[in-house]
């Protein structure tokens, strides 16, 4: 499975790309720094109409525009402005990573804070689920 990296770890810039052509459109500053490289799974459609979002759990310096092969670890449920916007958690192909309670807290805090600068933005984080649930969501989201 391939993930297109939109946002680099440690950045407070939200980059927007055309998800079909992968052409850069614009960037804007958000209220929290991305804890890990973040992008989307190619050839998928999520509940919000965009590609399925994915965090790549790695210390490797992935850059905006990189396309990387990943292995799925799990997911967390997220509802943004009333629409399903779940996040897949993955690692670069062949790597491993342990999803701990501290990591879950990090993602919950990030999700609540990232768009704090937008009045009226509503985000709710639900359960953290394993690889089987994540793979089911990915299969359901394939274009």
| CATH number of the domain to which 7 belongs | 3.90.80.10
pLDDT band at residue 143, thresholds of 50, 70 and 90?
Answer: low
Instruction: Give a yes or no: residue 95 inside a domain.
Output: yes
The residue range of the domain holding 23 is: 2-138
Q: In which region does residue 70 sit, left (phi positive, over 0), alpha (psi from -120 to 50) or beta (all else)?
A: beta
pLDDT in tens, 45-90: 988 888 999 999 999 999 999 999 999 999 999 999 988 899 999 9
Say if 20 falls within a structural domain: yes
- The reported pLDDT for the residue numbered 47 is 81
Number of domains in the chain: 1
Return d(Cα 23, Cα 96) in angstroms, integer: 31
Number of neighbouring beta carbons within 10 Å of residue 64: 17
Could you please report the per-residue DSSP string of 61-129?
---TT-EEEEEEEEEEEEEETTEE--EEEEEETT------HHHHHHHHHHHHHTTTTSTT--EEEEEEE
Rounded CA-CA distance 31/16 in Å is: 16
Q: How many CB atoms lie within 10 A of CB 3?
A: 26
Question: pLDDT averaged over the chain?
Answer: 95
Q: Are 15 and 4 in contact (CB under 8 A)?
A: no
What tens digit of pLDDT does each residue of 100-129 get? 999 999 999 999 999 999 998 889 899 999
Compute the distance between CA of residue 37 and CA of residue 133 in angstroms, rounded to an integer.
22
Residue 65 lies in a domain: yes
Residues in the chain: 143
CA distance 132 to 138: 10
143 inside domain = no
């Amino acid at each position: 499975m391939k993930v297109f990296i939109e946002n680099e770890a440690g950045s407070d810039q939200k980059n927007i790309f055309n998800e079909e052509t992968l052409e850069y459109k614009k960037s804007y500053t958000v209220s929290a720094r991305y804890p890990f490289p973040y992008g989307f799974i190619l050839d998928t459609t999520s509940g919000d109409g965009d590609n399925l979002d994915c965090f790549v759990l790695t210390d490797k310096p992935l850059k905006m525009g990189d396309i990387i092969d990943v292995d799925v670890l799990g997911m967390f449920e997220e509802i943004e402005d009333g629409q399903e916007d779940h996040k897949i958690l993955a690692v670069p192909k062949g790597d491993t990573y342990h999803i701990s309670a501290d990591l879950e807290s990090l993602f919950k805090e990030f999700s609540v804070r990232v768009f704090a600068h937008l009045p009226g933005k509503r985000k709710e984080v639900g359960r953290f689920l394993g690889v089987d649930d994540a793979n089911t969501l990915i299969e359901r989201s394939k274009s």
